[in-house]
């Protein structure tokens, strides 16, 4: 599962797979190009227990004119493991991370 947060509004949205995420981001990129704006998202790759596998920040459209698929790279395609199994954050840690991110965004606007 994938979750994205639009940093400008803290709006969140979930996607069942990477293809849905990529399709949505391509639509957002087209919207940004038409409006001559940029948008930054924080992307989360979550396991079935909603534990964080990986995350990244993505700004579209890219300044290097890369396509969304290129910008995503290997994000969401791999499983991160250690000797104890999948590495991830609990839901509590994910919420804490998101709360800190919102506070950071509020400070940037001031």
Write the pLDDT tens digit of every residue in 4-40: 999 999 999 999 999 999 999 999 999 999 999 999 9
Q: What is the mean pLDDT of residues 42-59?
A: 94
- Tens digits of residue pLDDT in 62-79: 887 888 999 999 999 866
Q: How many domains does the chain have?
A: 1
Long-range pairs for 18-27: beta carbons < 8 A, 24 or more residues apart? 18/72, 18/75, 18/76, 18/77, 21/72, 21/76, 22/68, 22/69, 22/72, 25/58, 25/60, 25/68, 25/72, 26/68
Range of the domain at 26: 2-109
């Amino acid at each position: 599962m994938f979750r994205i947060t639009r940093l400008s509004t803290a709006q969140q949205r979930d996607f069942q797979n990477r293809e849905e995420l990529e399709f949505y981001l391509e639509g957002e990129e087209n919207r940004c190009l038409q409006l001559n704006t940029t948008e930054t998202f924080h992307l989360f790759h979550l396991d079935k227990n909603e534990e964080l596998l990986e995350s990244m920040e993505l700004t579209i459209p890219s300044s290097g004119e890369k396509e969304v698929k290129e910008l995503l790279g290997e994000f969401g395609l791999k499983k991160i493991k250690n000797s104890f199994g999948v590495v991830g954050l609990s839901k509590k840690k994910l919420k804490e991370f998101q709360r800190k991110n919102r506070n950071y965004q509020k400070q940037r606007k001031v």
